[in-house]
Amino acid sequence: MVMYMTDLYETEEKIKDVVMLAARILLEAGAEGTRVEDTMTYISSALGYKGSNSFVTNTVVTYLLHNGTHPRIYRIQTRDTNLIRISETNRVSRHIVSGELSLDEAWEKLNYIDEAIDDHPLPFKALAGGMVGLSFLYLQGGMMIDVPTAILAGGIGYFVTEYISKKVETQFIPEFIGSFIIALLAAFGHMLIPGGELSVIIISAVMPIVPGVLITNAIQDLFGGHMLMSITKLLEALVTSFGIGAGVATVLIFL
């Protein structure tokens, strides 16, 4: 009987470990609250605990497996966007439910996702930022003559913003400096190659640092009934876009 109790206790702790790790990876990768809570409930009900409860915002995870155990709390410190991790964690949770993965295997896999899967290299992403700038130059109705300026400003602006946001933990600063540099580069390029349109260059070069994920997730959380999460995400998006606006405006004042 005593053996049985400790066994049960250990399994429950293992389930809690797996669920909390999955939730933590999802939140740190920037998933929406609906997805995180559904994944947690889904894993635990597939393992036989149908009365589990969870509450998630983008800064904290709370989880209760059932009423007789200790709840778990984890504070989320850093958040960014990483769609690979969301996709992989989603696959692990699907495999746990279909019975293809045991708890220990799932724990291993989640640990691998948490530690080993990394972002794409930053120079590669900066190149992608430049290409985004080029694409938006066309979509916003820009001119052929502005192509090099838009690519350069988009790529360098994205690189600077990401680099600073890895060093500085404050919210507003990276976007402010990034968009300030974008506007400077755009104005400089506009001066060197006259005849284009400055506003379109700035708009398309700023696009890579627009908080698109935050806005999308905030909308989805709002309609999913996660009021607290949607408000915090919207606030984060507002601060970021205010940073971008302020950075661009700082240059515009001097033009």
Binding site for another protein (CB under 8 A): 31-32, 35, 38, 41-42, 45, 50, 53, 81-88, 90-91, 94, 97, 119-120, 124-125, 128-129, 131-132, 134-136, 138-140, 158, 199-200, 202-203, 206-208, 210, 212-213, 215-217, 219-220, 222-223, 241, 245, 248-249, 252-253
* Residue closer to another protein (CB basis): 46 or 228: 46
Rounded-to-integer distance, Cα 74 and Cα 69, Å = 16
Q: Cβ 84 to another protein, closest distance in Å?
A: 5
Other CB atoms within a 10 A radius of the CB of residue 10 amount to: 10
* Residue closer to another protein (CB basis): 41 or 171: 41
Q: Cβ 7 to another protein, closest distance in Å?
A: 25
Backbone angles phi, psi at 115, to 5 degrees: -100, -40
* Residue closer to another protein (CB basis): 9 or 50: 50
Q: Cβ 100 to another protein, closest distance in Å?
A: 13
Q: Cβ 53 to another protein, closest distance in Å?
A: 8
User: Given phi > 0 = left and psi -120 to 50 = alpha, else beta, which region is 188?
Assistant: alpha
Q: Cβ 195 to another protein, closest distance in Å?
A: 20
DSSP state at residue 121:
P
Written as one letter, the residue type at 126 is A
* Residue closer to another protein (CB basis): 20 or 210: 210
* Residue closer to another protein (CB basis): 4 or 52: 52
The set of long-range contacts for 17-20, using a CB threshold of 8 Å and a minimum separation of 24, is: 17/107, 18/43, 18/96, 18/103, 18/106, 18/107, 18/110, 19/43, 19/44, 19/52, 19/63, 19/65, 20/61, 20/63, 20/72, 20/74
* Residue closer to another protein (CB basis): 1 or 99: 99
Beta strands 72-75 and 60-64, pairing class: antiparallel
Q: Cβ 45 to another protein, closest distance in Å?
A: 5
Q: Point out which residues pair with 75 in neighbouring strands.
A: 60
